[in-house]
Amino acid sequence: MTADLKIAVRAADAKGATAPIALNVSELFGLADVFLIVSGSVERNVQAISDEIEDQLNAAGLRTIRREGRESGRWILLDFGDIIVHVFHQEEREFYQLERLWHDCPALEISEMLEGAA
């Protein structure tokens, strides 16, 4: 999981994602271990971030189980099984406040995953 999460975090960062947070949801959500939540500034940026994450995880052998919201570019959900990625437009992220809904779940340290990323 950590290697796959690192790939996703770096892919998001490469496309300019902001405010990344990874939550360990394994204790409260039986369908995944981690939620990765990132933001994009405009719809095209949100789409580019989600495309890069999906491309990089697929290249690493992780299959996309489900993709939702790609067309609108406001909130894209990518389900890879153990990892579910939420790529939000900044306005949607502020409105839905997913981190607040899952506040009981511990945040994972992702700054180390970005070290050495180009």
pLDDT digits (tens, 9 = 90+) for 26-51: 999 989 999 999 999 999 999 999 99
What integer pLDDT is reported at residue 1 of this predicted model? 58
d(CA 57, CA 97): 25
Average pLDDT taken over every residue of the chain: 94
CB atoms within 10 A of CB 96: 14
pLDDT given at position 48: 97
> What is the pLDDT at residue 107?
94
pLDDT of residue 25: 96
- Per-residue pLDDT, 41: 95
Question: Environment class of residue 73 by beta-carbon count within 10 Å: exposed (0-12), middle (13-18) or buried (19+)?
Answer: buried
Chain segment 10-19, per-residue pLDDT in tens: 999 999 999 9
Contact by Cβ (8 Å): 77, 68:
yes
E strands, 25-96, in order: 34-40, 66-68, 75-79, 83-89
Domain ranges (residues) in the chain: 2-114
Q: Characterize 52-72 residue by residue with b for buried, 16 or more Cβ atoms within 10 angstroms of its Cβ, and e for exposed.
A: bbbebbeeeebeeeeeebeee
Could you tell me which CATH number the domain at 2-114 has?
3.30.460.10
